[in-house]
């Protein structure tokens, strides 16, 4: 490094960074010339510095670490040997606000983890709430429960401008939830103190979706993954979060960075809830509906690993901004379930990455697998920066140059590498599925309200947070519908939210 000297982008050493090539006379000033390559190159690069920010989850904390295995319940290589360590990249984000927003804005928090395993990369793209509901009446009108996304306060979406100007954000937010009550479970989480974590080190994360742990014989178990902080959960109150947003918009990023610099490495235990396919068929809840959780009594947590974050990114842009996570990035032993939201996500993320980073985004150092990659069908494209498979044919199984496959190399059965389980039989018909709301959709939210009641002050905090938000809704008709929505969860909750809101409006 000490040998480093200043050059242009293609290596030409330059004597000074402050020399301009000008047509000038002795009266000062001068006319710029096209031959001032340094100036032109620098100006041109400057105006291309930004890449599109993520359409959601734009602002985030990032760190490196490792996952240590402590079980053997799948054939996934990174989890089949106690003590085995897998390097990890973690990115924890807010969902709605754009990249310049305050970390402590109330929001669900995204938890994206890239495990660089010895059989390729595995991405866990989770949230800090065990249930989730995608909310966007404008963008995904036809995908019902699976696909509704929230009208985001900060989403810089010019197509929404007319709509945003006609209807204030809060009105949209609540009119959406009244019309789509299946999101109530997540709404309760969001307006509890969990919506404003005090530190990324002090939050839990959940797969939300059901996934599958598969075995070499093609059999599988359904799993939900829970990542629980050893540092204990700590949240801000509404007032603290608002104050911090003004004082230090990068508070959560700084908190994680400084803790790692101090060598106070945060640690999480990684657990799974496991369900046999036969139990899934008989279970009260649809395990492919992400607005529902599984009972911990019936499906207790089993620890599978320990996650430690112990290294800061050396460059935020290359390590974190250029990182691309996708639930479709999987390894043998881990597979997607038939949750329709997950199915949609398997497509959406690589598609987003190809747009945001370019078609060869998997080659960027932060995304590249730590194992050899050989997919000669995928050649060329913008910004290819490896050897592009040299003189190999752009297909596999050439008789002139035979291709080797993993089962032959490892002497294992092909089923042990498949991301698709052989034992899953599907019969069905193509249908336009529309979900309907039933009283069942309110059972688990009612349980959550009770659980909050067991922690001193949590119910009050939820009611206060909701009142502070709903009081901004000008239409009393809409407010009454919102109270009715919460009363459907629990009469007392509805009444308390109504009382607190109407009192706050009078003040």
Catalytic residues: 57, 127
d(CA 122, CA 116): 7
Find all residues with CB under 8 Å of 94, minimum gap 6, and list them: 57, 59, 60, 101, 103, 105, 107, 108, 109, 110
Least distance between ligand HEM and beta carbon 205 (Å): 9
Least distance between ligand HEM and beta carbon 291 (Å): 10
Phi and psi for 13 in degrees, rounded to 5?
Answer: -65, 145
CB of 190 or CB of 352, closer to ligand HEM: 352
Least distance between ligand HEM and beta carbon 412 (Å): 31
Please give the residue whose beta carbon sits closest to ligand HEM in the complex.
Answer: 110
d(CA 463, CA 483): 11
Least distance between ligand HEM and beta carbon 56 (Å): 5
Least distance between ligand HEM and beta carbon 237 (Å): 25
Least distance between ligand HEM and beta carbon 494 (Å): 27
CB of 191 or CB of 361, closer to ligand HEM: 361
Q: Tell me which residue of 95, 151, 153, 188 sits closest to 466, measured CA to CA.
A: 188
Phi and psi for 222 in degrees, rounded to 5?
Answer: -80, 145
Q: Give kind and range of the element (H or E) at residue 153.
A: none
N residues, the chain: 507
Contact yes or no for 68/87 (Cβ under 8 A):
no
Q: Tell me which residue of 203, 238, 270, 184 sits closest to 448, measured CA to CA.
A: 184
Phi and psi for 305 in degrees, rounded to 5?
Answer: -170, 175
Count the Cβ atoms, other than its own, within 10 Å of residue 215.
17
Q: How far lies 147's CA from each of 30, 95, 143, 225, in Å?
A: 58, 15, 5, 21
Least distance between ligand HEM and beta carbon 422 (Å): 27
CB of 351 or CB of 440, closer to ligand HEM: 351
β-bridge mates for residue 124, sequence order: 113
- Reading the block at residue 267, the tokens are 């640690």
d(CA 5, CA 13): 7
d(CA 94, CA 110): 6
Contacts to ligand HEM by CB under 6 A: 54-57, 60, 91, 93, 110-112, 125-127, 132, 134, 147, 208, 324-325, 341, 344-345, 348-349, 352-353, 356
Largest CA distance in the chain: 89
3-state class of 479 per DSSP? helix
β-bridge mates for residue 127, sequence order: 110, 206
β-bridge mates for residue 357, sequence order: none
Q: Which one-letter DSSP state was computed for residue 13?
A: B
CB of 147 or CB of 215, closer to ligand HEM: 147
Least distance between ligand HEM and beta carbon 24 (Å): 47
Q: Which one-letter DSSP state was computed for residue 402?
A: P
Q: Which one-letter DSSP state was computed for residue 483?
A: H
CB of 67 or CB of 125, closer to ligand HEM: 125
349 is in an annotated binding site: yes
β-bridge mates for residue 478, sequence order: none
β-bridge mates for residue 113, sequence order: 90, 124
CB of 227 or CB of 497, closer to ligand HEM: 227
Please report, for the chain, how many H helices and E strands are present, in that order.
15, 12
CB of 200 or CB of 467, closer to ligand HEM: 200
CB of 84 or CB of 139, closer to ligand HEM: 139
What secondary structure does DSSP assign to 239-277, as a single string? HHHHHHHHH-TTHHHHHHHHHHHTT---EEEEEEEEE-H
CB of 120 or CB of 208, closer to ligand HEM: 208
Least distance between ligand HEM and beta carbon 352 (Å): 4
CB-based burial label for 98 (10 Å; 0-12, 13-18, 19+): middle
**Which residue positions form the known binding site for heme?**
349
**Which residue positions form the known binding site?**
349
């Amino acid at each position: 490094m000490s040998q480093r000297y200043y050059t242009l982008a293609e290596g030409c050493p330059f004597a000074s960074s402050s020399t301009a090539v000008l047509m000038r006379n002795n009266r000062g000033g001068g006319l710029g010339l096209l031959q001032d390559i340094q100036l032109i190159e620098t100006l041109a690069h400057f105006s291309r510095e930004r890449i599109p920010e993520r359409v959601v989850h734009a602002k985030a904390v990032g760190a490196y670490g490792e996952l240590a295995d402590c079980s053997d319940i799948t054939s996934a290589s990174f989890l089949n040997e106690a003590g085995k360590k897998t390097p990890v990249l973690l990115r924890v984000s807010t969902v709605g606000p754009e990249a310049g927003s305050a970390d402590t804005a109330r929001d669900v928090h995204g938890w994206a983890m890239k495990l660089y395993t010895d059989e390729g990369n595995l991405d866990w793209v989770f949230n800090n709430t065990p249930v989730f509901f995608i909310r966007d009446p404008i963008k995904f009108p036809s995908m019902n429960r699976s696909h509704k996304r929230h009208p985001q306060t900060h989403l810089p979406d010019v197509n929404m401008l007319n709509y945003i100007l006609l209807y204030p954000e809060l009105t949209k937010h609540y009119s959406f939830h009244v019309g789509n009550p299946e999101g109530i479970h997540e709404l309760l989480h969001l307006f509890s103190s969990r919506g404003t974590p005090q530190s990324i080190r002090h939050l839990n994360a959940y797969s939300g979706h059901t996934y599958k742990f598969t075995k070499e014989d093609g059999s599988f178990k359904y799993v939900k993954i829970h990542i629980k902080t050893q540092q204990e959960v700590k949240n801000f109150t509404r007032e603290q979060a608002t104050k911090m947003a003004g004082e230090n918009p990068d508070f959560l990023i700084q908190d994680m960075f400084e803790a790692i610099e101090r060598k106070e490495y945060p640690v999480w235990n990684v657990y799974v809830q496991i369900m046999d396919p036969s139990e899934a068929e008989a279970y009260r809840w649809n395990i492919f509906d992400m607005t529902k959780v599984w009972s911990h009594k019936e499906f207790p947590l089993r620890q599978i690993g320990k996650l430690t974050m112990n290294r800061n990114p050396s460059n935020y842009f290359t390590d974190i901004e250029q990182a691309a996570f996708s639930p479709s990035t999987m390894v043998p032993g881990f597979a997607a379930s038939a949750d329709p939201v997950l199915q949609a996500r398997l497509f959406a993320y690589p598609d987003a990455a190809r747009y945001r980073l370019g078609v060869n985004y998997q080659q960027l150092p932060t995304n590249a697998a730590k194992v050899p990659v050989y997919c000669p069908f995928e050649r060329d494209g913008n910004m290819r920066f490896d050897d592009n498979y040299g003189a190999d044919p752009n297909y596999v199984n050439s008789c002139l140059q035979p291709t080797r496959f993993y089962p032959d190399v490892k002497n294992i059965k092909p089923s042990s590498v498949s991301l698709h389980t052989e034992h899953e039989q599907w019969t069905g018909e193509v249908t336009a599925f529309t979900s309907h709301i039933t009283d069942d959709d309110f059972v688990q939210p009612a349980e959550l309200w009770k659980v909050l009641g067991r922690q001193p002050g949590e119910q009050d905090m939820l009611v206060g947070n909701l009142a502070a938000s709903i009081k901004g809704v000008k239409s009393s008709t809409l407010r009454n519908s919102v109270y009715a929505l919460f009363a459907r969860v629990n009469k007392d909750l509805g009444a308390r939210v109504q009382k607190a809101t109407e009192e706050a409006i009078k003040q």
